[in-house]
Chain A
Amino acid sequence: MAYEITAACVNCFACMDVCPSGAIREAKPHFLIDAAKCTHCEGDFADPQCASICPVEMAILNEFGEAANPQGSLTGIPLERLQALAAAGIL
C-alpha cells in the first residue's frame, strides 16, 4: 500500500515539493498521492519525505494505514489537552 493524504491536509504544497517520485498532486479538497507512483521513498531517502515535512498531525497515513504523524507528535500538545479543547468546542 502507498502513503495516503487525509482530509486533515491544509494544501500547503510542502510534500509535493519534496516528493522524489512526483507522486503528489494538487487536488480539491486536498492534495493526493498517486498510489502507483509512491515508493515510500525507498531507495531515495531514509525517511518518507512527505511525512517528514508535513506540518499537520494525522494528515498522512503510512503504508499500513496508520497516521505517520499521530496527534501530539508534531506540536507536542498533550493528548488530554487537545481532547479537553475539542470537548469545549474551542478547537
Chain B
Amino acid sequence: MELKVLGPAKPSEDGCSKGSCGSTDDQMAHLPEHIRERVKNHPCYSEEAHHHYARMHVAVAPACNIQCNYCNRKYDCANESRPGVVSELLTPDQAVKKTLAVAATIPQMTVLGIAGPGDPLANPSRTFDTFRQLSDKAPDIKLCVSTNGLTLPDHVEELVKHNIDHVTITINCVDPEVGARIYPWIFWKNRRIRGVKAAKILIAQQQKGLEMLVERGVLVKVNSVLIPGVNDEHLKEVSRIVKEKGAFLHNVMPLIAEEEHGTYYGVMGQRSPSQSELTALQDACGDMNMMRHCRQCRADAVGLLGEDRGQEFTLDKIDAMEIDYDAAMAKRAEIHQAIEASRDAQRAAQTAKSATAPASGLPKGLRSVYMAVASSGQGVVNQHFGHAKEFLVYEASPEGARFIGHRKTDQYCAGDTTCGDAETALQRTIRVLDGCEVVLCSKIGIEPWGHLEDAGILPNGEHAMEPIEEAVMAVYREMFQTGQLAPPAFENRSA
C-alpha cells in the first residue's frame, strides 16, 4: 500500500552510517541542541541516559479499544515483567501520590509514563486527570504516554496542552493485510470492527496521529513488535515510513509469546524471534535511530530500566510515607546536577583519550566479540556477577564497542517451580549468555567462575568501576594481543 508522506522526504545523510546505531550518545550527536537537551535525561529516549536515570509507569488506564494477538487482558502476576501486566490499578489521585513518593525516594527518577495496562488514550479522563495534577505538583518530571494510536488524532491538542512532548505509538504495520494477522478487532465509532477493515482504520489513525504530533514538535518514538513470519520483513518499510514522517526513534521489540500467557500467539505456537534475528532487523532498518535498550517493562514498573522497584511503592506503603515534595525537588535538582557533572567528566575523558589514540588502533577485519557486562548503573562495570538480574551485551570490534541489547537472568517469570524446569539460576544465566565470550563484572565467586569457563565464557573482574565501553575495548585489545582474535581455522565449505 502507498502511504501519503507529509512534507519533503529528508535525505538520509544525517543518519548514522557506522556500527554504533543504538540511540547512543554518538547517535545523538547529529541532533539539534534543543532536541538533545530534551532527551538527555530520558532513560527510554537516550541509551546513554538509561544508565543514570529512572522512570516509572502508573497503571491508571485499564480500558482498551483494540485487541492485539500478543496481549491477554486477563493477566495479572507479580512475577511477570512484560507490557500490559500490572498488579495494582490506581485512580489518578493514587497515581499522583505514588509518583510523588517515588520521585522523593528515587531522585534519579525523571520520567512518568502512562502506558496501560490498556490504552491510555482509551482512558482519557483518568490519563489526563493524572497528567494535569502532576504538571502542577511535580513540574520537574517529564510526562510521557504510550498509545496504540487509534484515538490519537482526537487527543493531540490535549497532549500538547499538558506539555507532553514524548509520545510513543505502537506501529506494527502499515499494510492492513499484515495488520489483520496482528489485530483481531478494534472498537471504532461505537462498533466492534474486525479483520482487514479494522487494521486499515487503525493504521490510518496511527499515521495521522504521528503526522500531527511531528507538526507540533512533539518527539515521537515508534514501538514495533517483531513477529517472525508476520511482520518481520515488513518492519523495514515501517521504519522507513515513520522516519520519513519525522518519528525520532524506532524501538523494535521481540514478541513475547508463551503458552501460559494465554495470548493468541502464545496459545497458537507463534514463535518469538531470536536475539540475532532482532539485531539483524534493527541493523537492516538503515539509518533510522534505533532503540536497543528497551526492557519491555510492565505498565507499573518503577526504577532504572533494568530494575523494578514497584514492590516498595504499593498503596499501603506509600500511605505510610510523609513526602515534602519541595524539599525532594531541591534534592533531585542537586542530584541531577551531580549526575550531569559526572557524565560530562566521563565524556571529556573519553574525548581526550580518543584524540590521542584515534579509533581502537586495531587492524581492520578482526572478528568481533560479544561481551556481557554486569552494571547497576552510571555506565560503569560495577555489579557483582551473582547480583546481576540482567547483563548488557556489547559487541567489540576494531571500530569500537557498540551496545547490542540486554539479557535477563531471571526470565519473565521468576516464580515457583510450576513456572518451568528446575534449572539452577547459574545454569540459566549461562544459557542466556550464549554467544558471549567474556563477562565483565566487579567481582565473581570461584564456583561460577569455573562453570562459566567450562561453558566457554571468560569471567573478568579486572575492570571494576571503569566506564563500560572502555573496559570492553581494553579486554578486546588483550584478546588481540594474546592471539585470541585470530581467524577461525579454514572450514571445508564444499558440503
Contacts and interface: CB of A to CB of B under 8 A. Distances in A.
- Size bracket of the B interface: 20 to 34
Nearest to A78: B268
Interface residues of A, number: 24
B327 to A, nearest CB: 36
Contacts of B123: 13, 17
Given A52-B191, A77-B268, A17 B63 contact: yes
A74 B62 contact: no
B264 interface: yes
A58 to B, nearest CB: 11
Interface in A39-65: 45-47, 49, 52-53, 55-56
A49 B67 CA distance: 16
A52 B62 contact: no
A6 to B, nearest CB: 13
Nearest to B89: A11
A30 B414 CA distance: 29
A10 B267 CA distance: 20
Contacts, number: 69
B190 A56 contact: no
B73 A10 contact: yes
B259 A90 contact: yes
B192 interface: yes
A76 B184 contact: yes
A18 B267 CA distance: 30
Given A52-B187, A52-B190, A55-B64, A12 B118 contact: yes
A12 B267 CA distance: 23
A85 B264 CA distance: 12
A36 interface: no
A13 B267 CA distance: 26
26 contacts: A10-B74, A11-B89, A12-B118, A13-B62, A13-B63, A13-B123, A13-B126, A14-B62, A14-B63, A17-B123, A46-B191, A47-B192, A49-B190, A52-B187, A53-B65, A55-B64, A55-B73, A74-B185, A75-B69, A77-B264, A77-B267, A77-B268, A81-B267, A82-B267, A85-B262, A90-B259
Task: List 6 tightest A-B contacts by C-beta distance, closest first.
Answer: A14-B63, A12-B62, A55-B73, A53-B187, A52-B192, A13-B63
